[in-house]
């Protein structure tokens, strides 16, 4: 470290000592400490000339990632070493051969997996989607690759404040879109929660600040309420001789945000802002009995909601999560969720698969939950021909899915996603059974393929050798295994039909004395406007292609060339970010200026899905056919656009102006009464002098719901309108809808 400044050395040594303290329980042998020290020294030298955006020495990042791996995920010495080295091959002159020579084959394999994730980016699809697919492809080999990548993402999110605003939005979007769901699926609850909260912090800073402010303001009240709630429980649990810890925890900021935005409830109306967790120090033999004993004591004091009992001890979730949940009514009339679990269950709930390894020798009925999920992923990734974005969609289908429990005819229990169909269940048993499925018996009653299953159903699959997968099946199956199997079967059928079309094409070319070769095939694809030979041959076989058109092509030397007077429609495909940006006349480092014709650099359109107005945080998105469209950063489509097509996202900002009016929609509800419509129109068109585009209002059983579409200058103008509307007697809620 001799070439580092004294201040840098202090920072690096401070962070390294923190890593050693955090990993103390995992360094069981002197060789472990020496191994970590060796990787630390190597990484310090390799990253010597590099700095982070914050100005800190770059080595602080690998050290922080290593600390997250051991302290927050619970990984050992090998993972710590790999985390310290994770950027060396990609960002320095270090090679994989160097890694293998110095640290062994196991470390080299994990570093190779991490490097492949961040490797070549395919701009013709989606950079982040392609990277995510590469990451998932490594999962069946060594799941530590995924753990380290998630730790890397978490530290990047914690230090995201040093990045430009547009970069913050892109990284936050892809984190919400892929990384947080993956952490959830791997059982890393604490990591998933922080990734979601940090994403919200950068994606919607005002909403994040508002929720955290209200949580802080109500903290003292919550603390007092929880103390009163758990006081009798503590006394009674202690009498039974149970060894326990009991504590309250607030709901995550992101989950509160979801309730506010999706269920349209105010912060003050969310009844389950916090939960009480009881953690029992029980042996594996008695933990289930002890949890139910604790449940019995809780329900002796508080009335439970029978619809909110969740027994994930008898039937754990597929990510290994085990806990007993109940929601009870407190003396103050508030619902409180109580979670009951053992220390082993709690560690698995927070650290997921990493903790699962620790208890692998514990011969429990459900010990193979993670292994079953890995096997499903292995089945999915074996289909290498699946389009990248289709792969991501299929994979994400089950990341956040709620689960139900289905029985086979022999009584075997299967865990399936909620809304699963009989056909999904058939494919879950085996791909061949799914492909031949013609129906099912659910609880001994005959049902069709698309019949939705419910928890507790007993299902028998009926098959026929004459059955073949159909494209319509994709409209109702919900599991990734079913979708990938169906798509693969359809592709195989298309290939067989396409082979017939290929033979027809060859015969036609032979009759014209033209060779069937790559060069001529490319010309034919241009002529018939197809992207690949498979689609062309398939349509030929179906009789949808007129091969007589080939006669319009000049035969010359056995090669095909188009006549000069026959224009061919060409679709331009952009393959580089610079090419995309420059083609629209704007540099990637510049922001598109909106709302002032004298400063407008490029043509753009306002996206109808979110209808941004001046004052909204916005970004530009390059569409294929409609140029640049401007979206709000909290647009319903923003997360998907920024994560899947980051290379097509442009910075954009408004030029302050109030000359132009924008159409904005507002929804309002309240208690019906005389004169509300009159008061509203007087306010909008009279006092505020705002033009109304449309106004619809309906009333039922004393409650009304209305939608106002008005012409607004900017967000301040809109805020003033909404504040004044709330003052009208009878109106209870006012929300912007677009």
What are the tens digits of pLDDT across the range 323-363?
999 999 888 888 888 999 999 998 888 877 666 555 554 44
Whether 683 and 556 map to the same domain: the answer is: no
Taking residues 51-76, report their average pLDDT: 91
> Distance (Å, rounded) from C-alpha 88 to C-alpha 59?
10
* 450 located within any domain: no
Q: Is the pLDDT of residue 201 over 80?
A: yes
* 723 located within any domain: yes
Domain count, the chain: 5
Whether 624 and 717 map to the same domain: the answer is: no
pTM over 0.75: no
Whether 117 and 178 map to the same domain: the answer is: yes
Specify the CATH number for the domain of residue 701. Answer: 3.30.70.260
Q: What percent of the chain has pLDDT over 70?
A: 81
Q: Can 346 be counted among the known catalytic residues?
A: no
Report how far Cα 152 is from the mean position of its chain's Cα atoms.
16
Strands 662-671 and 731-736, sheet pairing: antiparallel
Please identify, among 621, 654, 687, the residue that sits at the C-terminal boundary of a domain. 654
Q: Is the pLDDT of residue 236 over 70?
A: yes
Whether 92 and 189 map to the same domain: the answer is: yes
Whether 328 and 344 map to the same domain: the answer is: yes
Whether 201 and 304 map to the same domain: the answer is: no
What is the model's pLDDT at position 118? 55
What are the tens digits of pLDDT across the range 64-75?
999 999 998 888
What is the model's pLDDT at position 659? 53
Whether 171 and 87 map to the same domain: the answer is: yes
Q: Pick 275 or 592 by higher pLDDT.
A: 275
What are the tens digits of pLDDT across the range 444-477?
898 999 999 988 889 999 999 989 898 889 889 9
* 67 located within any domain: yes
- Alpha-helix residue ranges (DSSP H) falling in 551-698: 577-583, 638-644, 676-681
* 480 located within any domain: no
Residue among 54, 49, 86 at smallest CA distance from 67: 86
Taking residues 96-106, report their average pLDDT: 92
What is the model's pLDDT at position 601? 54
Whether 219 and 196 map to the same domain: the answer is: no
Whether 339 and 217 map to the same domain: the answer is: yes
> Distance (Å, rounded) from C-alpha 282 to C-alpha 279?
9
Please identify, among 165, 187, 206, the residue that sits at the C-terminal boundary of a domain. 206
What is the model's pLDDT at position 288? 94
CA distances in angstroms from 444 to 423, 459, 517, listed in the order given: 16, 8, 58
Whether 588 and 678 map to the same domain: the answer is: no
Specify the CATH number for the domain of residue 261. Answer: 3.30.460.10
Taking residues 170-183, report their average pLDDT: 85
Q: What is the DSSP letter of 581?
A: H
Contact 204, 177 (CB under 8 A): no
Per-residue pLDDT band for 15 (boundaries 50, 70, 90) equals: very high
Specify the CATH number for the domain of residue 160. Answer: 1.10.3210.10
Q: Can 403 be counted among the known catalytic residues?
A: no
What is the model's pLDDT at position 554? 47
Please identify, among 632, 654, 676, the residue that sits at the C-terminal boundary of a domain. 654
Range in 2-6, 58-62, 678-682 the model is least confident about: 2-6
* 592 located within any domain: yes
Taking residues 684-689, report their average pLDDT: 84
The residue segments making up the domain with residue 675 are 662-736
Contact 406, 457 (CB under 8 A): yes
Q: Pick 623 or 302 by higher pLDDT.
A: 302
The single residue of 45, 91, 100, 667 carrying the catalytic annotation is 91
Per-residue pLDDT band for 376 (boundaries 50, 70, 90) equals: low
Taking residues 641-668, report their average pLDDT: 77
* 72 located within any domain: yes
Range in 42-46, 391-395, 448-452 the model is least confident about: 391-395
Contact 665, 694 (CB under 8 A): no
What are the tens digits of pLDDT across the range 563-612?
443 443 333 333 344 444 444 445 444 556 765 554 445 678 888 888 88
Long-range CB pairs of 505-509 (<8 Å, 24+ gap) are 505/536, 505/537, 505/540, 505/547, 508/547, 508/550, 509/550
Whether 217 and 78 map to the same domain: the answer is: no
What are the tens digits of pLDDT across the range 471-523?
889 889 988 788 888 888 888 888 888 888 888 888 888 877 777 888 878 87
Range in 64-78, 280-294, 593-607, 697-711 the model is least confident about: 593-607
Strands 731-736 and 692-700, sheet pairing: unpaired
* 296 located within any domain: yes
* 58 located within any domain: yes
What is the model's pLDDT at position 598? 42
411: which residues sit within 8 A by CB, 6+ positions away? none
What is the model's pLDDT at position 281? 93
> Distance (Å, rounded) from C-alpha 162 to C-alpha 367?
42
Per-residue pLDDT band for 125 (boundaries 50, 70, 90) equals: very low
Q: What percent of the chain has pLDDT over 90?
A: 27
The single residue of 8, 32, 71, 90 carrying the catalytic annotation is 90
Taking residues 87-107, report their average pLDDT: 90
Whether 198 and 309 map to the same domain: the answer is: no
């Amino acid at each position: 470290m001799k070439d580092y400044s004294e201040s840098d050395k202090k920072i690096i040594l401070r962070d390294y000592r923190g890593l050693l303290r955090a990993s103390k329980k995992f360094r069981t042998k002197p060789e472990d400490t020496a191994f970590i020290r060796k990787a630390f020294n190597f990484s310090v030298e390799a990253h010597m000339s590099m700095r982070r955006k914050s100005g800190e020495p770059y080595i602080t990042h690998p050290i922080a990632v290593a600390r997250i791996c051991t302290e927050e995920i619970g990984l050992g010495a090998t993972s710590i070493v790999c985390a310290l080295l994770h950027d060396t091959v990609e960002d320095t002159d270090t090679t994989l051969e160097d890694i293998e020579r110095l640290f062994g084959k196991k470390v080299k394999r994990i570093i190779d997996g991490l490097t492949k994730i961040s490797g070549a980016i395919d701009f013709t699809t989606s950079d982040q989607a392609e990277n995510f697919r590469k990451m998932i492809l490594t999962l069946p080999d060594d799941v530590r690759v995924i753990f380290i990548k998630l730790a890397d993402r978490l530290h990047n999110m914690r230090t995201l404040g040093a990045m430009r605003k547009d970069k913050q939005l892109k990284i936050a979007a892809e984190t919400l879109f892929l990384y947080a769901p993956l952490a959830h699926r791997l059982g890393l609850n604490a990591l998933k929660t922080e990734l979601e909260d940090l994403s919200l912090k950068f994606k919607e800073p005002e909403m994040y600040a508002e929720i955290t402010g209200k949580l802080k303001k109500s903290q003292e009240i919550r603390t007092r309420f929880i103390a009163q709630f758990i006081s009798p429980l503590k006394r009674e649990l202690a009498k039974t001789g149970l060894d326990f810890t009991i504590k309250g925890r607030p709901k995550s900021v992101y989950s509160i945000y979801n309730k506010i935005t999706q269920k349209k409830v105010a912060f003050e109306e969310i009844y389950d802002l916090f939960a009480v967790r009881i953690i029992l120090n029980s042996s594996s033999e008695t933990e289930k009995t002890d949890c139910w004993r604790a449940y019995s004591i809780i329900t002796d004091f508080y009335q439970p909601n029978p619809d909110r009992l969740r027994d994930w001890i008898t039937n754990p979730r597929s990510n290994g999560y085990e806990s007993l949940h109940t929601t009870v009514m407190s003396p103050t009339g508030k619902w409180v969720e109580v979670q009951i679990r053992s220390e082993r269950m709690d560690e698995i709930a927070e650290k997921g698969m990493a903790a699962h390894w620790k208890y692998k020798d514990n011969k429990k009925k459900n010990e193979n939950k993670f292994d079953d999920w890995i096997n499903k992923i292995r089945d999915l990734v074996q289909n290498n021909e699946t389009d990248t974005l289709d792969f991501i969609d299929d994979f994400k289908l089950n990341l956040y899915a709620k689960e139900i429990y289905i029985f086979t005819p022999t009584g075997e229990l299967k865990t399936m996603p909620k809304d699963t169909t009989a056909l999904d269940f058939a494919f879950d048993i085996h791909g061949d059974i799914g492909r031949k499925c013609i129906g099912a018996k659910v609880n001994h009653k005959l049902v069709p393929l698309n019949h939705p299953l419910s928890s507790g159903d007993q299902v028998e699959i009926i098959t026929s050798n004459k059955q073949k997968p159909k494209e319509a099946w994709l409209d109702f199956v919900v599991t990734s295994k079913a979708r990938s199997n169906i798509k693969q079967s359809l592709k195989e059928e298309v290939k067989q039909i396409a082979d017939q079309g290929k033979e027809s094409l060859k015969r036609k070319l032979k009759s014209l004395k033209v060779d069937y070769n790559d060069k001529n095939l490319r010309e034919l694809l241009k002529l018939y406007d197809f992207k690949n030979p498979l689609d062309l041959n398939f349509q030929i076989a179906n009789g949808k292609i007129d091969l007589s058109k080939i006669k319009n092509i000049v035969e010359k030397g056995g090669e095909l060339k188009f006549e000069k007077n026959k224009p061919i429609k060409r679709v331009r495909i952009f393959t580089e970010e610079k090419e995309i940006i420059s083609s629209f006349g704007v540099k990637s480092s510049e922001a598109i200026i909106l709302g002032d014709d004298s400063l407008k650099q490029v043509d753009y359109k306002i996206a109808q899905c979110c209808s941004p107005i001046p004052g909204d945080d916005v970004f530009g998105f390059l569409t294929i056919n409609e140029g640049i469209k401007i979206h709000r950063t909290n647009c319903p489509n923003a997360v998907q656009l920024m994560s899947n097509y980051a290379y097509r996202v442009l910075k954009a900002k408004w030029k302050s102006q109030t000359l132009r009016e924008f159409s904005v929609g507002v929804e309002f509800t309240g208690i019906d009464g005389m004169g509300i419509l009159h008061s509203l129109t007087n306010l909008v068109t009279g006092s505020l002098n705002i033009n109304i585009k449309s106004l619809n209002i309906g009333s039922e059983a004393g409650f009304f719901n209305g939608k106002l579409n008005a012409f607004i200058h900017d967000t301040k103008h809109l805020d003033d309108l909404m504040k004044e509307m709330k003052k009208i007697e009878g109106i209870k809620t006012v929300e912007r809808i677009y």
